[in-house]
Structure 1
Amino acid sequence: MMLLAIEQGNTNTMFAVHNDVEWIAQWRTATEANRTADEYAVWLTQLLHMNGLGFEDLDGCIISSVVPQSIFNLRNLSRRYMNVEPLIVGENAKLGIEVRITKPTEAGADRLVNAIGAHLTYPGDLLLIDSGTATTFDVVAADGAFEGGLIAPGINLSLHALHEAAAKLPRIAIQKPERVIGKDTVQAMQSGVFWGYIALIEGLVDRIKAEWGAPLTVIGTGGVASLFEGATTSIDRFDPDLTIRGLLEIWRRNATKD
C-alpha cells in the first residue's frame, strides 16, 4: 500500500507519501483555496517523479483540511489521477476517539488528527500547542479523548496585522531577539511578537494546568514551533510529526474496520 496523505492548513498544504513502512517523501505548497485538481496534479507529478514515483504507484489517499472550499478539488485529485476514493477527516473517516466538547462537529480536523497522533506516542494527559496560522492549545485525556482547548491568533497573523494596521511599522521576519528591550523599531517589533508569544504560551499553560488539576505533558508542534525551542521551559517536547502520524493511524483504523 502506497498512501498519499494531504494535510491542508490555512497557510500551507503538506503532501506526504507512506510506503507501508515509513514516510518516504514530504512536500509543502502554499494553500490556495481555488487551486484545481489539475493544477495540483501538474505540481505533484514533478515532485513524485523526482522521487522515482508516479500517480500509478499511489493506491490510497487521506485528506485533512481546514479549508472547506478546497476539499472538492483535493477529492477530484484523488479520484481523477489516482482512481481512488479518498478518506476525508470530518466526512467519511472514523476517528476512533471520543470528542468531549459541547458541539463535537465543530472540532477542527487538524486538532483531532493531532490528538490521535499525540496519544499514539505519549502516555498520560497531554496539552498540545500547535503553532500555525492560529495557535491552538488542546487537552487530550489519558484515554485519548479530545477534551477541548482554546484558539489564539498565530504569530505570523499578529505580525501581519501589526504591519497592516500601523503605517510606519515595516513587514519583518520572525526570529528570536537576543534582548527583550529593542533598540530600534525592527528589534522592538521582533521582541514584542516573539517574547509576547512566549509569555502567552507560558501564561496559558499555567492556567490550563491549574484548571485541569492533574499533570499534563506539553507537546509543541506546527510550522513555527521550532522557534520556541530553548526559549521556554513550559513546553516539554517538540514533535513536528504529530499530524502525519495521526493521519496514518486514521487510515489504518479505517482500513481495518469491519
Structure 2
Amino acid sequence: MFLAIDVGNTQTTIGLFDEEGASVHGWRMSTSRTDTSDMLDSRLHGFFSKDGLDLSSVDCAGLACVVPVLTRAWSKCLTDHLAQPPMVLTPGEWCGIDVDMPNPRSVGADRIANAVAAKRTYGAPVIVVDFGTATNIDVVDADGKYRGGAISPGLMLSASALFSRAAKLSSVPIEAPAHALGDTTETAVQSGIVVGAAAMAEGLVGRIKEELDIPEAPVIATGGLARTVSKATTLFTTVDPELTLRGIVDIYQMREERNPR
C-alpha cells in the first residue's frame, strides 16, 4: 500500500492507494505547525484504527508539503513506520514533467503534483484550478510542459478578512447562492465570495487559454472548496478532489520505473 500526504497551509489530506494506484481510503485534517512526529504518528494510527485498516500494510509513502517544519515531522513519522524515508517532492527535482519556467525551484510541490496528475489523466493541454488556502491555477501547455499559472487568496482567506472587519457578516455560510444578484445580505456575501471566486477563475483561465492558444483545454477543479465553486460556474470539465494525492502517487511510480530499487 502507498500513503500519499499533501500538507497545505490550512488542511492536510491523506490518501491510501493500492499497488495499482487505485484509491482505497482518504482522510482530511487541520494543518498545525506545532505538530511533532509523535503527534502525527498518533493521528495516523487513529485514522487507520477508526476505519478498520492496518497501518503496517503501508510499505511506501510520498509527501508534498508547503510547510517546511512539517516536512521534517512527517518525514520522521513515516520513516519510523517504513524503515526508509518517504519520497518528498522537492522543487527542482525530476518529477516526470518539464517545468518551463525561469526558476523551477520556486514552484510548490502541490502544484507540480496537480500538473502531473492532470496531464496523465486528461492529457495535454490541461488547466487545474485548486481551491485551497490560496487559489492556484496550474497550466500544462500543448507540448506537455508545465508553464506556471496564477495564485490568488483562497475563498476562506477572503472570507476571513471580510468577517474580521465586518462582525455582522461572520455567520454567513460559504455556499453557492442561486443567483449572482444577492437580494439579502447573506446571499450578497455568498455571491461576492463564491460567485466572485468562480468569476475570477473564469477570467484568468480565459486569458491563459488565449495567451497560449489552447481554447479547448479541459479545466479541472480540485481542492477543498472545488465542489462549492463548481456550483457557480460551467467552467470546469470535472471536479477531481483526489488530483493532488494522485499526482504524488504518479510521481512515485514514474521515479520507480526510472530508477528501480
The amino acid that maps onto 1:221 is: T
Q: Report the equivalent of 1:244.
A: 245
8 Å CA contact 2:98, 2:144 repeated in 1: yes
Structure 1, residues 65-116: CA drift from partner, whole Å, max 9, x if none?
Answer: 1111211100110122332211100079631211111111000111000000
Bigger shift: residues 179-188 or 113-122: 179-188
Q: Give the direction of change, closer, same or farther, for the CA distance of 1:147–1:202 in structure 2 (3 Å limit).
A: same
Residue of structure 2 equivalent to 1:203: 203
Q: 2 CA distance for matches of 1:93 and 1:80?
A: 24
Cα pair 1:159 1:171 within 8 Å, conserved: no
SS at match of 1:256: helix
1:46-195 to 2 correspondences below 5 Å: 46-90=46-90, 94-195=94-195
- Name the CA distance, whole Å, in 2 between partners of 1:211 and 1:93: 28
- Cα distance in 1 for residues equivalent to 2:238 and 2:214: 18
1:93–1:254 Cα contact (<8 Å) kept = no
Partners of 2:181 and 2:188 within 8 A in 1: yes
Q: If the length of structure 2 is used for normalisation, what is the TM-score?
A: 0.91
Q: Report deviation, 1:185.
A: 2.5
d(CA) in 2 for partners of 1:113, 1:166: 37
Measured after TM superposition, the shift of residue 182 of structure 1 is: 2.8
Give the C-alpha shift of residue 236 in structure 1: 2.1
Instruction: Report the 3-state secondary structure (helix = DSSP H, G, I; strand = E; otherwise coil) of the residue aligned with 2:6.
Output: strand
User: Conserved in 1, the CA contact under 8 Å of 2:221 and 2:239?
Assistant: yes
Structure 2 match to 1:19: 18
State the TM-score, normalized to the length of structure 1: 0.92
Moved more, 86-95 or 217-226: 86-95
Letter in 2 for 1:228: V
Unpaired segments of 5 or more residues in structure 2? Answer: none
2:234 counterpart residue number: 233
Contact 1:59/1:84 (<8 A) preserved: no
Query: Could you tell which deviates more after superposition, 246-255 or 172-181?
Result: 172-181
1:1-16 counterparts in 2 under 5 A? Answer: 2-16=1-15
1:230 positional shift: 4.2
Identity of aligned residues (%): 36
Secondary structure, aligned partner of 1:240: coil
CA-atom RMSD, angstroms? 1.8
Q: CA deviation at 1:134?
A: 0.7
Distance of aligned partners of 1:93 and 1:116 in 2 relative to their CA distance in 1, 3 Å threshold: same
